[in-house]
Chain A
């Protein structure tokens, strides 16, 4: 259906955040900058993203999908669970980093 063809540019071409991240983080030419962000750091970051987004799916693969058929536990439950998990991860990162005075946005 050519009507689905996104108009080039302007409308972002229907790209979502995952489309963009998988290109700008995972692909593209790698050159050594003066600021050494170890590529490993970026890889760890993407791995972490994948872990966060993979957990519910993994549970399903293992057959733990009882909540799926329970209307009271549907997508809302998944979202809550994810939010809690994110919160826990954030706390852990905060604990690891030690100093958590809120930083001003630098302009």
Chain B
């Protein structure tokens, strides 16, 4: 295509040449996903309107949560649908070129790196495991029946109130420590099973929409044929971690493992300890 200026080219992922996305797969602007090939590599791409993806427009869009969510979901859908069929190297959101040639140049320049990453990820998928602890709503400090904190303080039992508050806080801290220990133990068991693992930041409930405090947010790279065993292990950990709610997500394309391993302090790739 030589529609210079009319459209831009959005790239989702890199795969080995010859891999074809499933028919009918649509990308971020509902345009069909195609491949651009250079040597031994192909990129999964689709056309996007320049009006939305030129620098300035893009910068404004990225500040818009609704746009960001739509784009992120579409990006994810292309990458993960392709990953179900063949090994892909996911690219970061909004990787945009002017035309086919720009994409081919990158494929040529970084061929060696991409091919070796594809070899190391071939036949593996990423699974996400998150653990939550319900916040101590159950252990509210006992305020005398019918009395507010202020009344309690006014009638001279202020010290009792503070004591109860302290006890409440200590109980909460203890619960948190216990939850953190369970989460750490779960991560260690999963890490031992996985080929590689990576800890993500704990999620905030307002973005995830999930109740409870997120105490573990890990990603694990698992050979396809071991997915069932891994899921079984997650189930076992859930059974022997009272007070933790453990959730499994996936399979994901290997997003968290697409970049070469980083030093521990930069990315927590070695997975020492829960967050």
Contact A24 B258 (CB under 8 A): no
Contact B201 A31 (CB under 8 A): no
Contact B75 A45 (CB under 8 A): no
Identify B207's interface contact among A8, A18, A41, CB under 8 A. A18
Bound Cα distance from A55 to B72, whole angstroms: 24
For B256, list chain A residues within 8 Å (CB). Answer: 23, 27
Contact A17 B97 (CB under 8 A): no
Judge if B158 is at the interface, Cβ distance under 8 Å: no
Contact A19 B102 (CB under 8 A): no
For A31, list chain B residues within 8 Å (CB). Answer: 11, 91, 95, 106, 110
Nearest neighbor of B209 in chain A, beta-carbon distance: A16
Known contacts A2-B231, A32-B106; decide if A19 and B53 are in contact (CB<8 Å): no
Judge if A102 is at the interface, Cβ distance under 8 Å: no
Judge if A59 is at the interface, Cβ distance under 8 Å: no
For A29, list chain B residues within 8 Å (CB). Answer: 14, 89-92, 114, 117, 258-259
Nearest neighbor of A106 in chain B, beta-carbon distance: B51
Bound Cα distance from A42 to B75, whole angstroms: 16
Nearest neighbor of A24 in chain B, beta-carbon distance: B93
Chain B contacts with A in 34-82, Cβ cutoff 8 A: 49, 51-55, 58-60, 62-63, 68-69, 72-73, 75-76, 79-81
Instruction: Count how many chain B residues have C-beta atoms less than 8 Å from C-beta atoms of the other chain.
Output: 70
Bound Cα distance from A2 to B75, whole angstroms: 29
Nearest neighbor of B227 in chain A, beta-carbon distance: A8
Identify B250's interface contact among A13, A35, A36, A53, CB under 8 A. A13
Judge if A20 is at the interface, Cβ distance under 8 Å: yes
Bound Cα distance from A5 to B95, whole angstroms: 32
Contact B92 A13 (CB under 8 A): no
Bound Cα distance from A35 to B53, whole angstroms: 8
Judge if B195 is at the interface, Cβ distance under 8 Å: no
Nearest neighbor of A36 in chain B, beta-carbon distance: B55
Q: List 26 A-B contacts (CB under 8 A).
A: A4-B235, A14-B248, A14-B249, A15-B76, A15-B128, A16-B203, A19-B203, A22-B200, A22-B203, A23-B255, A24-B79, A28-B90, A28-B93, A28-B258, A29-B114, A30-B92, A31-B106, A33-B94, A33-B97, A34-B96, A34-B97, A34-B102, A42-B94, A50-B201, A69-B143, A106-B49
List the interface of chain A (C-beta within 8 A of B). Answer: 1-2, 4-6, 8-9, 13-37, 41-42, 45, 49-50, 53-54, 57, 69, 82, 93, 97, 106-107
